[in-house]
Amino acid sequence: MIAYRAPLQDLRFALHDVLNLQGHCAKLPIGDACNREVSDAILDEAARFAEQVLAPLNASGDAEGCHFDASTGEVRTPQGFKQAFAQFAENGWSGLTAAEEDGGQGLPEVLGAVFKELVDSANLSWGNYPLLSHGAVNAIKHHGEAWQQQVFLRPIVEGRWTGTMCLTEPHCGSDLGLLKTRAEPMDDGRFAIFGTKIFITGGDHDLSENIVHLVLARLPDAPAGTRGISMFVVPKYKVSIDGVIGARNSVRAGSIEHKMGIHASATCVMNFDGAEGWLIGAPHKGLAAMFTMMNAARLGVGIQGLGLIERAYQSALSYSRDRLQMRSLSGVKAPDKAADPLIVHPDIRRMLLTCKSFAEGGRLMTLHAASLVDLVEHGDESTRGEADSLLSFLTPIVKGLLTEAACECTYHALQCFGGHGYVREWGMEQLARDARITTIYEGTTQIQALDLLGRKVIQQQGIGFKQFLGMIVDFCSQHAQVAELATFVAPLAQAAQDWQQLTLEIAQRIQRDPEELGAAAVDYLFYSGYVTLAYWWARSVAAADRSDLATRQAKRATAQFYFKRILPRCHAHAGAIRAGAESLMTLDAALFD
């Protein structure tokens, strides 16, 4: 397996040259305390932890997997995982972006996103354990009672406890209206939770002292459907109102799944047999708390896709530089060797540049989204509202596009290795297996697409969409007379105009036939994602004009590839959208045999 190296140079370019991290931090409570010296030091330490602690455990964790004791319901993680988690907590990474009053460091979410990318590139399975703790902190902080915040937040922020999100049931995937888990009131304000949840990431493990489950369930008087769902905090070990840890709660893992990938991440069936819990938020209003947690997780999974793209690209690039295969079609490139390296061949370059363009463009897209999280949390009323609507629009694009791109790019990287990519030795098949789940959990690509088109564009009348179009129009107007950017600005302006026109057409189609929403949604998500990345590539070229020659050349060449080879995919998606729902819905269900 080729060693992972954190892409520090591109991270610094993204943070400082394109996104102006220091200017962003000046708008936040941390202010000038988060200067370039501080942020660069954080990047260096994060890189060391990812490269030296987590990456060496990736292949061994995949091979060993998790261990389940059916007699106790206990899960043991692979060798080295527990020690890595202890180091993660001791060094303060678990509270990097959490509020100082809760035991955190109060740093911006945009730096948390950088740390997460490095973790997920190094070891995606390990990165799943702290992933949902971040969402649990958000849910409790925004929806919990004061005593719940006091009791639960600090132990999670300090890494002594971890969190989970318990939604899915055997009969109920994304359709939460079918949820059956019930919550029965007890005399003292507690509730007894009964039911079974499946596919619970980190439902049990040996990394932390306690595990805090956030569980969706129904009260006895709950109305049917999603309007009758409440959220409860159910710890593995009971916790009283005054924070005293009690006996083992009546919640246990019934089994762990044997999966295609992420073998070292425990995916559990969780049985709640009268487990004691506390209501979070108002009765029957659990979906609001759940979406607070879910939206954070969706951004997190988008970053997982980014991390896998980067890791796959690094491996394929290194192999393609060293592996000798055939001669270049235009003549010998390495006369002193028996054959030319793979990287001279056009199709190898196509695959490498696809990975590179998604990694570097996707990095800017995710960091921008993370910066919006900071503004939603800390901005004034006007800033919060604008940032929230834009973040809501971009979240399904980040999650949907980058996880699908991770599947594409890990495939390309494996293909660069040829037969060696298909065997375990080089680690490429693990990346391809691990990538596949990212398009499914925390909402499938189809769910992201319906959220984007149905809720964010149609129901919300495209508030965030219009904001992002405005960003593109402003950029193109400001750089319209810059000759060096003409090859990017003109096509970007046209793409934005076409995007707006296509969106209007879809809205009109949906008014005539509601099935057009489902028929268009996934193609619309890809179309939106490709235009979004085009904007960030144009901005990269503009920012690179202030950088060194090598950076300018690399950014411009990669952007040219993206605009000429990836952005034109929009035409195919537009064609599919305009074909309508008829070709999908004509065939009778009985005739699918």
**Which alpha helices (DSSP H) does 220-345 contain, by range?**
286-322
How open is the CA angle 59-355-422, to the nearest 5 degrees? 40
- Whether residue 442 lies in the annotated active site: yes
Here the tokens at position 528 are 């939106």
Of 442, 484, 515, 582, the active-site residue reads 442
> Rg of the chain over CA atoms, in angstroms?
24
pLDDT value at position 1?
81
Q: For 308-317, give one letter per residue: b (16+ CB within 10 A) or e.
A: bbbbbbbbbb
Q: Which residues contact 185 (CB under 8 A, 6 or more apart)?
A: 191, 219, 220
| pLDDT value at residue 290 | 87
Tell me, what's the pLDDT at 184?
A: 98
With pLDDT > 90 as the criterion, what percentage of the chain qualifies? 95
pLDDT score for 382: 86
- The answer to whether the beta carbons of residues 115 and 92 sit under 8 Å apart is no
- The span from the CA of 407 to the CA of 435, in Å, is 6
Beta-bridge mates of residue 277:
191
With 90 as the cut, is the pLDDT of residue 216 above it? yes
331: left (phi over 0), alpha (psi -120 to 50) or beta: left
| 301/22 Cα distance (integer angstroms) | 26
Q: How far apart are CA 313 and CA 358, in angstroms?
A: 10
Residue pLDDT, tens place only, 356-401? 999 999 999 999 999 999 999 999 888 999 999 999 999 999 999 9
pLDDT for 416 equals 98
Q: What does pLDDT average to over the chain? A: 97
What are the structure tokens assigned to 305, written together? 């896709």
pLDDT tens digits along 225-283: 989 999 999 999 999 999 999 999 999 999 999 999 999 999 999 999 999 999 999 99
pLDDT, position 425:
95
pLDDT digits (tens, 9 = 90+) for 165-201: 999 999 988 888 889 999 999 988 999 999 999 999 9
Cβ 301 vs Cβ 442: under 8 Å:
yes
Kindly list the distances between the CA atom of residue 260 and the CA atoms of 74, 175, 233, 430, in Å, as whole numbers in the listed order. 22, 24, 30, 9
In the prediction, which pLDDT does 173 show?
80
Give the tens place of pLDDT for each residue, 466-525. Answer: 999 999 999 999 999 999 999 999 999 999 999 999 999 999 999 999 999 999 999 999
Tokens of 52: 């030296």
Under the banding of pLDDT at 50, 70 and 90, the label for residue 288 is: confident
In the numeric block, the tokens 């936040």 are attached to: 28
Residue that has been written with the tokens 């590179």 in this structure: 356
Q: Which helix (H) or strand (E) holds 514?
A: none
Burial class, 162, CB count within 10 angstroms (exposed 0-12 / middle 13-18 / buried 19+): buried
